[in-house]
Amino acid sequence: MRKYELIAPCHFGLESVLKREITDLGYDVSLVEDGRVTFIGDEEAVARANIGLRTAERVLIKIGSFKAVTYDELFEGTKALPWEDFIPVDGRFNVVKASSIKSALFSPSDIQSIMKKAMVERLKSVYNISWFNEDGNDFPIRVTIMKDIVTVGLDTSGVSLHKRGYRKLTAKAPIAENLAAALIMLTPWRGDRILVDPFCGSGTFPIEAALMAANIAPGLNRDFIAMDWNHVVSNNVWKDAFDEARDEVDMSVKTDIQGYDIDKDMVDIARANAKLAGVDSMIHFQAREVANLSHPGKYGFIITNPPYGERLEDKKSVQGIYRTLGERFSSLDDWSMFMITSYENAQEDIKRKADKNRKIYNGMLKTYFYSFMGKKPSKK
């Protein structure tokens, strides 16, 4: 099988989690940069990474990279890339996303337009035609220019990997599925431990935890754009990768995963999403205020995304939520708590300094992931 350089973008601050996932899949990581991890793999890796990576945004095949400080250099560098290895004569191709950081070329629309012209010129000469109907399969191109180095990737995922296919309905400010998965993976929680999310919204944290506990691959119930590219990744490779993922599912695992929300309608939405994900039997959802948070077990975990106050005019209501959360957390027996928030007084109102905090960008919003560590269960 042909070897590729594959690029997996992710949330800024979570590169180490994605790197571990890729290594666990059996692939060699060649480069870790802000917001993306590059690794080496064949066509089987394209399929397995799309189906199995919980924390990536998408999987790109790196077409090439080059330096460009002028639009002429961008045109010539793009034209020199082997587009015919990937895009057939009837393929639809466009630069769907261009981003530039600390570079001489900075206009996304100009970058997209010039690269499209260069690709057309290359393919016209290879296929010996003067016009492309572009009535075949889609081949979306994504480009980043960092300090004048252009990196060109072919998007094999299509719809972002955070869309697992189970979340048809959402809360007002939902957390992305891949971000939720990455945050869970930053904790010591495992499937046989207690997990409670007292602000579960549409159920993302409990559902992602249940998927992990049952070893259900996040991409098992969705399609990917490269499934139409039989000349790049064959149909048999996709079939084998899906079969492998199905064989690894273990629904016999016993879990104690719970999701609460003050809004009964959100709890109904969370239940519906869990059913679509195939994990509704593993999660207990309930309409409950954070003031009623309790559990008889020891060594449990709270993993949550409480209100930030970004959309609430009454900051005092947010303060009250965090104070109540802190009180209920302190009453639990040797529990740990992990939460993502941009609320600046979180530690003060919870009345405990976090043992760790990590800066993470949730979209464009700077947030912190706070870790309040409880006692570890005895090995006995």
What's the pLDDT at 174?
A: 79
What's the pLDDT at 156?
A: 98
Q: How far, in Å, CA of 295 to CA of 266, rounded?
A: 22
Read off the pTM. 0.95
With CA atoms as reference, report the closest residue to 58 among 177, 175, 161, 144: 161
**Which parts of the chain fold into alpha helices (H)?**
15-25, 43-52, 71-79, 108-127, 177-185, 204-213, 235-247, 264-277, 315-331, 346-350
Token pair 């939405």 is found at 269
Q: Over its length of 380 residues, how does the chain's per-residue pLDDT go in tens digits?
A: 789 999 999 999 999 999 999 999 999 999 999 999 999 999 999 999 999 999 999 999 999 999 999 999 999 999 999 999 999 999 999 999 999 999 999 999 999 999 999 999 999 999 999 999 999 999 999 999 999 999 999 999 999 999 999 987 666 667 999 999 999 999 999 999 999 999 999 999 999 999 999 999 999 999 999 999 999 999 999 999 999 999 999 999 999 999 999 999 999 999 999 999 999 999 999 999 999 999 999 999 999 999 887 654 556 689 999 999 999 999 999 999 999 999 999 999 999 999 999 999 887 888 999 999 999 888 76
Contact 196, 264 (CB under 8 A): no
What's the pLDDT at 315?
A: 65
What's the pLDDT at 363?
A: 78
In degrees, to the nearest 5, what angle opens at C-alpha 182 toward C-alphas 271 and 362?
90
Token pair 């990279």 is found at 65
Rounded to 5 degrees, φ, ψ at 260 are -120, 150
What's the pLDDT at 291?
A: 97
What's the pLDDT at 378?
A: 81
Q: How far, in Å, CA of 143 to CA of 3, rounded?
A: 21
